[in-house]
Structure 1
């Protein structure tokens, strides 16, 4: 696990260097053959949605797409500075509120890619509800001991992790629990091991995610509403992107996925790989993709 975390943090650092190098606040100007540069992060929904958008754009326009892996904070900075053209994983209004407030004047929101996303702390459904049903229940010493005093998290720059740190404080859990940062894939492996052994575990999670199709899970109740309400996940582009790429901006503004179909696609990606899952989605939802790419509807 430590090796995976080190490798992930190295990627984030390299991403930060790449996005900040030569950045002096000027907007990126598109050349005739320049690729569209889209940031993404190593979350399952982010990877599928971004790879799907790349396939749709390249299949229906003459523009190549380059994907850049970076932490979510670096993506906001990259789009705001013009070093990135777009990011497709803006969780609003709560999860990324800090980033949005800081950079919103230099971002263009093309609207939601999907709606109804939920964040929270997740447990296997075999954990008895009468013992553990709320984040507040975690304060009980016997429950803390059974969970080995840890909450398994995801990458440290994620909005979910920032909110989870706040939840530890608000519920008075910060002296009993350690929030463990790691790649989101590590989180899913920790959950898988607990499920296989029928052990108790708490992980930071969200919907849509393939884990909810793989196992019976539930969110712990959040009576203090620290982790936020239902979210919409938007496509953000740099200032000037609509003028440089009107056809692509129109596609992204019409690209919308329902949560059930997205969660099914993510489970397909987990089982068969992202390339297969993207092609499966395009084949199964050809009419929907045709609406996204219909000519004559530009901003």
Structure 2
């Protein structure tokens, strides 16, 4: 299977089509006998990826009686894993630009099941308290006084992520020299929060949907050269042949569709309580849609 990935396997017994709506997150004791899951889904610690992957997992397990394995892995490992068949699916393929490098490399071994949500975007973000007169555009990062205020650092996420590649391209395009600090999505948000609490300047890689836009007053730096692209869509992709092996699961993933606002609301709710409760409440409030996703209708 995949190297350098933490296996997070949740085995929940199927509760039937109607039970997922009444008791979405009731745990069933794990089976002692290990077996190949019906679907192995890759995810990473991006807030939107986590909540969407866990929502899909709960519905597949408890509504469709499918054995699901979640694998936490770097984005590059996920693309390689799905392409090689070590993973069946990933629900976080940013298209057309953010993950272009991976899509160019692996698209002949992937099946794109279409967008889960559209209108996503990304770029470099700063607290709204940073004066626009001093820092309004990515081009302003090249100014000596701005660089000093930011200690010559951009808080980033995992090195192989699309937004980090774009940040490196932006440095070349706009002529600034900063240390691009790697980390996780939660680490990036934590550093933003700490700087805001201290009324300090910070610039970080950012994307929507993300709960930080609900929690903090932030703004994207303008990008006149278009390095960070425009609106993106986030797709479900699976291994070639998966549709034939698991047509019901593939059909569910094709019908799974959320708005940006719904994803951000789920993320905010999960932070206030936990993912389990947030997903439980969302399913209870959206029974007709969940039924349709599971229905097999085209």
Is the 2:214–2:268 Cα contact (8 Å) retained in structure 1?
yes
Contact 1:72/1:158 (8 A) holds in 2: yes
**Aligned match of 1:238:** 239
Q: Give 2:48's aligned residue.
A: 45
Secondary structure of residue in 2 paired with 1:293: helix
Measured against aligned partners, the alpha-carbon deviations of 1:98-117 in whole angstroms (never above 9, x if no partner) come to 00011001100000000011
Q: 2:256 aligned with 1:255, yes or no?
A: yes
Query: Separation in 2 of the partners of 1:63 and 1:274?
Result: 20
Partner of 2:201: helix, strand, or coil?
coil
- The Cα shift of 1:33 comes to 6.1
Q: Provide the residue aligned with 2:283 in structure 1.
A: 282
Whichever structure has more helix as a proportion of its residues is 1
Match of residue 20 from structure 2: none
State the partner residue of 2:138.
135
Displacement of 1:62: 2.1
Q: Is the 8 A contact 1:167 1:226 kept in 2?
A: yes
Deviation at 1:56, TM superposition (A): 1.0
Q: Is contact 1:33-1:63 (8 Å) kept?
A: no
State the 4+ residue runs in structure 1 displaced beyond 6 angstroms: none
Cα RMSD after superposing both structures: 1.8
Q: What residue is the counterpart of 1:14 in the other structure?
A: 4
Give the alignment of 1:94-243 within 5 angstroms: 94-174=97-177, 177-243=178-244
Mind listing any 5+ residue stretches in structure 2 that lack a counterpart? Answer: 8-34
Match of 2:90 in 1: 87
- Give SS of 2:61's match: helix
SS in 2 for 1:151: strand
1:35: Cα distance to partner?
Answer: 3.4
Q: Is the 8 A contact 1:16 1:74 kept in 2?
A: no
TM-score, with structure 1 as normaliser: 0.87
Contact kept? 2:6, 2:72, Cα under 8 Å: no
Q: Matched residues in 2 for 1:146 and 1:289: separation? A: 48
The answer as to whether partners of 2:38 and 2:246 remain within 8 angstroms in 1 is no
Distance in 2, matches of 1:196 and 1:34, equals 45
Q: Distance in 1 between matches of 2:65 and 2:257?
A: 22
Give 3-state SS (helix, strand or coil) of 1:267's partner: helix
Asked if structure 2 preserves the Cα contact closer than 8 Å seen for 1:37 and 1:85, the reply is yes
What TM-score results when the alignment is normalised by the length of structure 2?
Answer: 0.87
Tell me the secondary structure at the aligned position of residue 235 of structure 2: strand
What residue in structure 2 maps to residue 267 of structure 1? Answer: 268
Query: 2:256–2:293: 8 Å Cα contact kept in structure 1?
Result: yes
The offset of 1:16, in angstroms, is 9.4
